[in-house]
Amino acid sequence: MLLSPDDTVKAQLMDEADLDRTLNRLARQIVEHLDDDAEPADRLALVGMQTRGVHLARRLRDKIASVEGLDLPFGILDATMYRDDFRKRLRQPVVHPTDIPFDVDDRRLVLIDDVVYTGRTTRAALDALMDLGRPASVRFLALIDRGLRELPVRPDFIGRTVPTTPGEEVRVRLAEIDEADGVWLVERTP
């Protein structure tokens, strides 16, 4: 099932074709950013944040490879244990593997997530990356920027900005782990 039966769908923000077009645009923006830099492309790497950011990063890597012929290194990051709220949650957190098969020192990284909201997950991811080394730079890509930050975090690459209220949630579904691709705005269930 794409969404929970308890979800009240307010709007479908992206269907499969919209998502693909958005990822094509974001892949071009990453490559254009490369063209603006004096450093060689072989210092760039993509890092997807668990869970849906991983699949978005793989898709972006594949799009860049097919269009530009660049085979960018790709890593997977789980920042769960770096979150400032994981001890406050009642249930045990689910920790996924981190797999970054390259040295992050002096690399230009693009950190990729599906939705940015408060900025806390992004802050945790930056802490996790810094424990792995000292990248030359970290750029942040979010498929959806829903606003309402609690921390001063802003994506460098944005698929779509969707202003939300505290009672709303953006649900991203990807075919790799869900039934199909799509993005919905839903009323948050209690």
Per-residue confidence at 84, pLDDT binned at 50, 70, 90? confident
Number of domains in the chain: 1
Length of the chain: 190
* Residue 8 lies inside a defined structural domain of this protein: no
Strand 74-77 relative to strand 44-49, pairing: parallel
* Residue 102 lies inside a defined structural domain of this protein: yes
Q: Which one-letter DSSP state was computed for residue 99?
A: B
Q: What pLDDT does residue 7 have?
A: 80
Comparing 94 with 129, the larger pLDDT belongs to 129
Are residues 138 and 168 in contact, defined by beta-carbon separation less than 8 angstroms? no
Give the range of the structural domain holding residue 100, as residue numbers without chain letter.
15-84+94-164
The angle subtended at Cα 89 by Cα 92 and Cα 84, nearest 5°, is 105
Per-residue confidence at 166, pLDDT binned at 50, 70, 90? confident
* pLDDT tens sequence across 59-70: 999 999 999 999
* Residue 137 lies inside a defined structural domain of this protein: yes
Average confidence (pLDDT) over 57-83: 95
- The contacts of residue 153 (CB under 8 Å, 6+ apart) are 116, 119, 122, 123, 140
* Residue 32 lies inside a defined structural domain of this protein: yes
Q: What pLDDT does residue 89 have?
A: 56
* Residue 184 lies inside a defined structural domain of this protein: no
Q: What pLDDT does residue 51 have?
A: 94
Residue 190: name the closest of 167, 172, 173, 170 by CA: 167
Distance CA 106, CA 131 (A): 14
3-state SS class at 186: strand
* Residue 107 lies inside a defined structural domain of this protein: yes
What are the φ and ψ backbone dihedral angles of 34, each rounded to 5 degrees?
-60, -45
* pLDDT tens sequence across 1-18: 467 777 899 999 999 999
Whole-structure pTM value: 0.92
Comparing 89 with 63, the larger pLDDT belongs to 63
The enclosing domain of 115 has a CATH number of: 3.40.50.2020
Q: Tell me the average pLDDT of the chain.
A: 91
* Residue 69 lies inside a defined structural domain of this protein: yes
Q: What pLDDT does residue 91 have?
A: 65
* Residue 140 lies inside a defined structural domain of this protein: yes
Q: What pLDDT does residue 1 have?
A: 41
Distance CA 39, CA 24 (A): 23
Residue 98: name the closest of 52, 45, 47, 155 by CA: 47
The angle subtended at Cα 174 by Cα 145 and Cα 31, nearest 5°, is 60
Average confidence (pLDDT) over 59-86: 92
